[in-house]
Amino acid sequence: MTDTGTRGLGGPTRADVAVPGQSDFASFVRKTGSSSKVTGRGGTYGFGKAVFHLLSASHTVVVHTRCRVNDRVETRLIGWAVHESYTVEGGAGTKTFTGRHFWGRAQNGYVEPLVGEEADEVADGLGLRSLPEGETGTTVAILDPDFGERGDAEAMRWIVDAMVWNLWPKMLPEGGDAPMRFSASHEGRSVPVPRPSEVPHLRPFVWAYDAMDQMIEHKSLGRVLGHLGMRKFLSPPGSPPRVAQEAGIGGRLHHTCLMRPVDLVVTYLEGPPFFEESGGYAAVFRADASMDRVFAAAEPASHDAWLVDKLSGDEHRLAKHALRKINDAMKEASGPASVSNEASEGVSLAGMSRLMAGLMVGTAGEGAEAVFATGTTSSGGSGSPERGSAGSTGVGGIPGPRNGSSGFSGRRRVLYDGAPEHDVLDGEAVLIQRFTLPEAGSCVVHGRPAVALGDGRGVEGEPPIGASVPTVLGWQAGDGPVTTGSSLRVTGGDGRVWSLIVRPAPDTMTELTVVAEAGSDIG
């Protein structure tokens, strides 16, 4: 593994030498489990480098680094093994060894790294890729890696997937000046590293990252905790890669990606499943910079969770509050979007219906007609009649215009001719809703299709990202030509039967509504 564009492992080569400034070599090679107190860095406990040794069948790695020492560039190379401690019986008695071994140049009983040309020659002899000329950085070579049952090619694919799923925020913006650039190769051949947005099950998290505009705060303590982005979507086909499953993501996405300000994935926090199997949601929470040390302290040595109960006092309150807000957001996202036909407690629906009758379009079911009064004035009057006052009565017993006037000034009544029907138009499956406009006068008719939610919960208020939506294809009078557009300027009262033609969204129930408004402008 080669990391270029970084400063390399500089500073003293011995852990017992204290020099102000850098101590990267001693921290990485000599020390194990030393806690980092530097804000804004991913590692906190100093155990992460042990992964290299655990992956090696011989628990051994070779570190080749180029760093800056004072005003010059220096190359260093050292072999390093970490294994279990052991004891040896000898003539001088029993000796206990730590299990840590080094390969380099012995100097005064201490193993120092090879430096300069000697380090480069040995690195080249071991087949290590040379660092770019003049650049600083580090290469860690794992000897005899143990991939278990995975073959080499499968292991490389797994490594690439692990990079993408754990480091994808570092890859943004895609195609721009991202903080890090990643590549992989096997036996000299490049292994493709996909962009995060090209991975179907990861793409929704990228959307959520780009929409991270909801601030999470603890108002009583006056602290900003972080920012949250949330997105709903249609579930991508297939299963996520094995790496994602090992990270806790199953066949469906209903998770929040947690990260600290360093933009390294901590974990994918699972929330309640989306209410429909075909959909899901993904969220991203990034802790505020002022909270970095708090959440870092809540992480175990593996950095893969936030264990807030490890904290105490205000830090516990802050971290606990953040997770509660995240879980509340996931719970809200898991349910259907709120719809306009829900009523509040204590409101009379019958009374509200009478008050709002003049604002609504009449609709008819099978064998019945609904006609709502419009509140127009009589030809000789100066004001609107009171609801329910005398006048000509429309079908259904609801008052119509005074004195039988047909001069509607607001919404026009629409009579549906039966239920929507399936048909085929130019080889395409469509839905058709037939209707008539019984009242004379010019008007504009709008088609408003929507995806109906199950169990009578209304219609979808906000389609998920990437979801198909029903679309108005046009209008047709009888067997005449089709007029395209979502709205139609027409004159009613002639008895013509019109058809609203809609392309439904796949695998959904579509609700069709026709709205007619007096006037000649399409809006």
Rg, Å, the chain Cα set: 35
pLDDT confidence of 16, banded at 50, 70, 90?
confident
- Cβ–Cβ under 8 Å, residues 64 and 119: yes
Cα–Cα dist 488/485, whole Å: 7
The SS3 call for residue 295 is: helix
- How far apart, in Å, do the first and last CA atoms of the chain sit? 60
Note the pLDDT tens digit of each residue in 181-226: 999 999 889 999 999 999 999 999 999 999 999 999 999 999 999 9
Query: Of 64, 181, 63, 66, which Cα lies nearest the Cα of 133?
Result: 66
The SS3 call for residue 362 is: coil
Four-point Cα dihedral 235, 336, 453, 466, nearest 10: -30
With b for 16 or more beta-carbon neighbours within 10 A and e for fewer, the 161-175 pattern comes to bbbbbbbbbbbbeee
- Cβ–Cβ under 8 Å, residues 495 and 261: no
Q: Which amino acid is at 385?
A: P
pLDDT confidence of 361, banded at 50, 70, 90?
very low
Residue 145: exposure state from Cβ atoms within 10 A (0-12, 13-18, ≥19): middle
Count of C-beta atoms within a 10 Å radius of residue 290: 14
Between β-strands 279-287 and 421-425, what pairing exists: parallel, antiparallel or unpaired? unpaired
- Which residues are CB-neighbours of 71 under 8 A, at least 6 positions away? none
With b for 16 or more beta-carbon neighbours within 10 A and e for fewer, the 207-217 pattern comes to bbbebbeeebb
Please say whether the dihedral angle defined by the alpha carbons of residues 469, 475, 476 and 481, taken in this order, is positive or negative: negative
The two structure tokens encoding residue 163: 């990079």
Residue 394 has what pLDDT?
A: 29
Residue 84 has what pLDDT?
A: 85
The SS3 call for residue 386 is: coil
Please determine, for residue 392, whether its predicted confidence score (pLDDT) is greater than 50: no
Note the pLDDT tens digit of each residue in 302-328: 888 999 999 999 999 999 999 999 999
Q: Which amino acid is at 348?
A: S
Which residue pairs from 381-387 have beta carbons closer than 8 angstroms and sit at least 24 positions apart in sequence? Answer: 387/354, 387/355, 387/357, 387/358
Cα–Cα dist 399/211, whole Å: 50
Cα–Cα dist 246/304, whole Å: 12
Query: Of 388, 275, 258, which Cα lies nearest the Cα of 325?
Result: 258
pLDDT confidence of 439, banded at 50, 70, 90?
confident
Place of tokens 């796949």: 506
Provide, rounded to the nearest whole percent, the portion of the chain with pLDDT above 90: 45
Place of tokens 């990391």: 3
278-298: average pLDDT: 94
The two structure tokens encoding residue 219: 């108002």
- Cβ–Cβ under 8 Å, residues 62 and 128: yes
Helices (H) and strands (E) in the chain, counts: 9, 29
Note the pLDDT tens digit of each residue in 226-247: 999 999 988 888 889 899 998 8
Query: Of 335, 128, 325, 330, which Cα lies nearest the Cα of 217?
Result: 325
The two structure tokens encoding residue 423: 């048909």
Cα–Cα dist 264/288, whole Å: 14
* Element housing 329 (H / E): helix 313-334
Among 122-126, 127-131, 319-323, 360-364, the range scoring the smallest mean pLDDT is 360-364
Distance of CA 34 to the CA centre of its chain: 34
Mean residue pLDDT of the chain comes to: 80
Task: Please provide the DSSP assignment of 429-479 as one string.
Answer: EEEEEEEE--S-EEEEEEE--EEEPGGG--B-SSPPBT----EEEEEEETT
Residue 503's region, left for phi above 0, alpha for psi from -120 to 50, else beta, is beta
Cα–Cα dist 70/90, whole Å: 45
